[in-house]
């Protein structure tokens, strides 16, 4: 029964209504004696690596450590993707800020220069 409870909790924690709606058949399959790996394959958005890892964990009797290593792997991939996104985004933000600062400077100095030219033309 703890596996069923874990799947129920996991379905609510996904934060995605579409994926959450795919969990009831998975929970039903596991409740009826099916393997977790076969049931997880029904959720199309999950990576095949997850189902394969669960299958290996079920066969070897080490499901917990296999899921922990998979979670570590996904965490590493997410961290790497975030770092890559930040590395690409930083130069874009710097250029954008430079443009905004340039426009502010131009909006301040242009009237001053025009005023100076008008004063110079009067003298």
CA distance 88 to 117: 43
- Domain locations in the chain? 2-61
- Crossing angle of helices 2-13 and 23-31, rounded to 10°: 180
> Closest by alpha carbon to 43, among 63, 27, 59?
27
Total-model pTM = 0.64
pLDDT digit string, tens, across residues 80-117: 999 999 999 999 999 999 999 999 999 999 998 888 88
Write down the residue that tokens 């502010």 correspond to: 104
pLDDT digit string, tens, across residues 12-63: 888 888 888 888 998 998 899 888 888 888 888 888 888 898 899 989 989 8
């Amino acid at each position: 029964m703890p596996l069923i409870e874990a799947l129920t909790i996991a379905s609510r924690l996904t934060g995605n209504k579409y994926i959450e709606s795919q969990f009831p058949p998975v929970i039903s399959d596991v409740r009826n004696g099916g393997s977790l790996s076969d049931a997880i394959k029904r959720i199309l958005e999950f990576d095949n690596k997850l189902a394969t890892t669960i299958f290996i964990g079920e066969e070897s009797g080490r499901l917990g450590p296999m899921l922990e290593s998979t979670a570590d792997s996904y965490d590493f991939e997410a961290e790497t993707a975030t770092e890559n996104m930040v590395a690409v985004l930083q130069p874009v933000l710097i250029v954008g800020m430079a443009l905004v600062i340039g426009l502010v400077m131009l909006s301040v100095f242009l009237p001053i220069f025009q005023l100076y030219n008008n004063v110079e033309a009067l003298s």
